[in-house]
Structure 1
Amino acid sequence: MAVNPWQLLDTATVPGGEGTLRLMRRGSEFSIMAGSTSLMNSRMSGSEEALASLAWERISGQKHPHMLIGGLGMGFTLRAALAILPAEARVTVAELVPAVVAWARGPMAEVFGAGLTDPRLTIREADVGALLNGEKLYDAILLDVDNGPEGLTRDANDKLYTVAGLRRTLRALRDGGMLAVWSSHTSAPFTKRLATAGFDVEEARVRARGARGGERHHIWLATKSAKAAPRPTKNPTS
């Protein structure tokens, strides 16, 4: 049986010079790779979709919800969010690599469908950390910018997962808001840092292919209580 080979469609340098991404296609299947690691594949979207649905379950009582998604990727989390959020919602997507946005509008347009034209959506070509400067901006912050807090795709992302970075995220959430973090694996130290930063923490195990099974991925669901008041930390890299 003939094997359908992967075809390289494009490459992109991550801003800051931290690596190169490759967009690959094999028939109707797409993959975005960093080196030999597949960061995402168009046939495996279940856990990324769960990132949006599990977050929405916990903030569905919020009026005019504003959701920030860190990482556009192949749009799985975005499409799931747009499918369940009400008409008055707002969704902001932060994507660091401009080429990923161009791929979504170009070779992967069939994967994204009409999602990028949704009037509720704003795409910012920026580091998601740059959108966390402020207080009570969002009802939900969804992070899928790495393979997890211990599987960084770029070193600069480490600051998102420190106690100091998590307290900054806590301040950016409205009361009752939540932070949801996707990971390919669990991390007890990160669970502890979330609690130290002032979050009430839940954890969920989800399948890469949803109901069709696949590898088990991990999602942290960290809620900001109305009484949460982030304290300064003496060691911002802890």
Structure 2
Amino acid sequence: MIPWVQLDSAKTPDGGQELRLKRRGSEFSIMLGTNELMNSRLSGSEEALAKLSCQRIASHRQPRILIGGLGMGFTLRAALAELGNDAGIVVAELVPAVVAWARGAMAEVFGDCLDDPRVTVQETDVGQLIRSEPAAWDAILLDVDNGPEGIVHKSNDALYSLHGLGAARTALKTGGVLAVWSQGTDSGFTRRLKQAGFVVEEVNTRANGKRGARHIIWIATNGPRS
């Protein structure tokens, strides 16, 4: 069997943990400690995050999409495939090394998606972008952790709090969608979404087509404010 080779590493924003980029043949993996955050062979649920969201805003003209977390670009590429030429996508990535890996060691995985004129990558906290402008986004897609808990960056917990969800709702246009990827269920998070005023769907999906681990995507739609 071909062994894994570590290509690079980077500290998490708080400096307390280390992200590691590894390669085995044509397969890439990003690890946080002993946890694999993503693998280039397992893209199904991240792609579903984009497809499900874009389907629900298909009637929106000139949609603006905010993606939290660049990762291996699965969600970005799926969104580009779903959206027309009038769309604009901003990707917020807090770890500069991840952006460097996308343009360097993992360039073959990303292809030309980062050069698409619809795409802007900002090395910043997605929470700051959410809070910066009301009614700015047709969809906000969050895949910055393994679920609604800040494991990569502890301050990400604020994204999933009732206050953070309220900020996301304020940042969305009427009929906009907040979509959150998770490796598992979280009934408390579902309740908080509803308390924040969203209409909530929980969608089960697979890591790799019809196979692989089961993951959860919350699709939370922003209705009119009372």
TM-score bucket of the superposed structures, by smaller chain: over 0.9
Relative to its length, the structure with more strand (as a share) is: 2
Q: Provide runs of 4+ in structure 1 moved above 3 Å.
A: none
Residue in structure 1 matching 2:215, options 203, 214, 217: 217
| Equivalent position to 2:19, from 11, 18, 21 | 21
> 2:115 aligned with 1:131, yes or no?
no
Task: Tell me which moved more, 148-157 or 101-110.
Answer: 148-157
CA contact under 8 A between 1:199 and 1:228: conserved in structure 2?
no
Say if 1:85 and 1:18 are closer, same or farther in 2 by CA, change over 3 A.
farther
How far apart, in 1, do the equivalents of 2:52 and 2:15 lie?
Answer: 34
Q: How does 1:72-91 map to 2 (within 5 A)?
A: 72-91=70-89
Q: Percent identity?
A: 60
1:179 equivalent to 2:184? Answer no
Q: Any conservation in 1 of the 2:13–2:153 contact (CA below 8 Å)?
A: no
The answer to whether the 8 A contact 2:206-2:214 is kept is yes
Task: Report the CA distance between 1:14 and its aligned residue.
Answer: 1.5
Paired letter, 1:25: R
What is the TM-score with the length of structure 1 in the denominator?
0.93
Structure 1 residues 109-118 or 144-153, which shifts more? 144-153
Deviations 1:166-190 (A, max 9, x none): 0000000001001000000010000
Where structure 2 has 5 or more consecutive residues not aligned to the other structure, the ranges are: none
Provide the rounded CA distance (Å) in 2 between the counterparts of 1:100 and 1:153.
13
- How many residues align structurally? 225
- Cross-structure match for 1:235: none
Distance 1:66 1:207 in 2: 27
In the alignment, what sits opposite 2:35? 37
Aligned to 1:101: 99
- What TM-score do you get using the length of structure 2 for normalisation? 0.98
Question: What pairs up with 1:39-58 in 2 under 5 angstroms?
Answer: 39-58=37-56
1:164 has 2:157 as partner: no
Kindly report which structure 2 residues correspond to 1:113-128, keeping only aligned pairs within 5 A, or say none: 113-128=111-126
User: Mean Cα displacement is larger for which, 90-99 or 16-25?
Assistant: 16-25
Q: Assess if the C-alpha contact under 8 Å between 2:21 and 2:29 holds in 1.
A: yes
Bigger radius of gyration among the two: 1
The root-mean-square deviation of aligned C-alpha atoms, in Å, is 0.9
C-alpha distance in 2 between matches for 1:61 and 1:97: 33
Equivalents in 1 of 2:112, 2:176: separation in Å?
28
